[in-house]
Amino acid sequence: MAIIGRRQQQGVAAAAATLVALMAVVVAAAAEAQPSPGVYPSRMFRAREFGRDFRSLWGAEHQQQEAAAPETGVTVWLDRRSGSGFKSRRAYRSGYFGAWVRLQRGYTAGVITAFYLSNGEAHPGWHDEVDMEFLGTTPGKPYTLQTNVFSLGSGDPPRSLGREIKFHLWFDPTADFHHYAILWTSDHIIAGGAAGFPARPMWVYGSIWDASSWATEDGRYRADYRYQPFIARFSAFLLRGCSPHAPRTCAAPVAGDLTAAQLAAMRWAQRFHMVYNYCYDPKRDHSLTPECRTHLHPSSSSSNSSSSSYHG
């Protein structure tokens, strides 16, 4: 699974994660010392129309479809009454799924804007999911991007199998639209065990909602509705994948292993901007995530016993 983000007109942000090392990265090519991933998959596909490919899932009165064809999109918002969510009309078993997203400036603590794959409605409580969640913040502090992958489980106890990794974004996601995408193929998700590989068909979702209990500094800062509405804008969706009933010959839109440039970009972001990795969290039950024992140095977790953060 690769998660990719690109800053409009000013370079590229790329993120990659594998279930073998379970690392994640977001790279924006604006910083001087920041390596370019060298590959821009979003340029390979044509944008889709929101109304044709998605439907409202909840909070329809908190959605406004943008009609600037061909890059049609949707604006969603959260206020005291409700948040909002949408879902793709089709399911997929693999593919490239992206959108241009612009987040709200200012006080957004407690608010989550999400773009993700899931089959939670088809398999409630025992489902698969690949997440990108933008965790709201307070003025002067960066947004946090949290990625997560689990299969045959849930993000919540008692079946919590989350593999959360967090990055502080080093570019401003509120100043412009940026492209973020999930690349879900057999080359980019490597099975780490029976509970590690999201293999069942999933749908594409987007949402904005109140997660005050945990989203911002473990719930220290909560949503403050004096600043409502909290707005997120999605545009130029890219959906290119194989349907559940497509023949086995259905090809992945982007194939092959990560290149040396992509690996270098990933490691740069991990070293300088990763602030949490579940494998280094001493409070986690790592019997559920055997890849942490296999692919990380045994001393890594103990060296971080006083903090759940990891900085290279």
Q: Give the C-alpha separation, 295 to 288, whole Å.
A: 14
Q: Give the C-alpha separation, 269 to 262, whole Å.
A: 11
Q: Give the C-alpha separation, 308 to 300, whole Å.
A: 12
Token pair 């293999």 in the structure block, residue = 199
Hey, what amino acid is at 112? I
Fill in the DSSP letter of residue 283: T
**Cα-atom radius of gyration of the chain, to the nearest Å?**
18
With contact defined as beta carbons under 8 Å apart, do 146 and 274 qualify? no
Q: Cβ of 57: how many Cβ atoms within 10 Å? A: 17
Q: Give the C-alpha separation, 10 to 17, whole Å.
A: 23
With contact defined as beta carbons under 8 Å apart, do 149 and 130 qualify? yes
Paired tokens of 179:
């492209």
Task: Note every long-range contact of 299-307, with CB atoms under 8 Å and residues 24 or more positions apart, other chains counting.
Answer: 304/280
Q: Is 133 a catalytic residue?
A: yes
Question: Which of 232, 206, 207, 211 minimizes the C-alpha distance to 221?
Answer: 211
Rounded to 10 degrees, the C-alpha dihedral 270/128/113/307 comes to -40
Pairing mode, if any, of strands 274-277 and 144-153? Answer: unpaired
Q: Is 164 a catalytic residue?
A: no
Among 32, 71, 133, 217, which one carries the catalytic annotation?
A: 133
Question: Which of 215, 20, 34 minimizes the C-alpha distance to 12?
Answer: 34
Q: Give the C-alpha separation, 82 to 137, whole Å.
A: 20
Among 32, 61, 66, 129, which one carries the catalytic annotation?
A: 129
**What residues act catalytically?**
129, 133
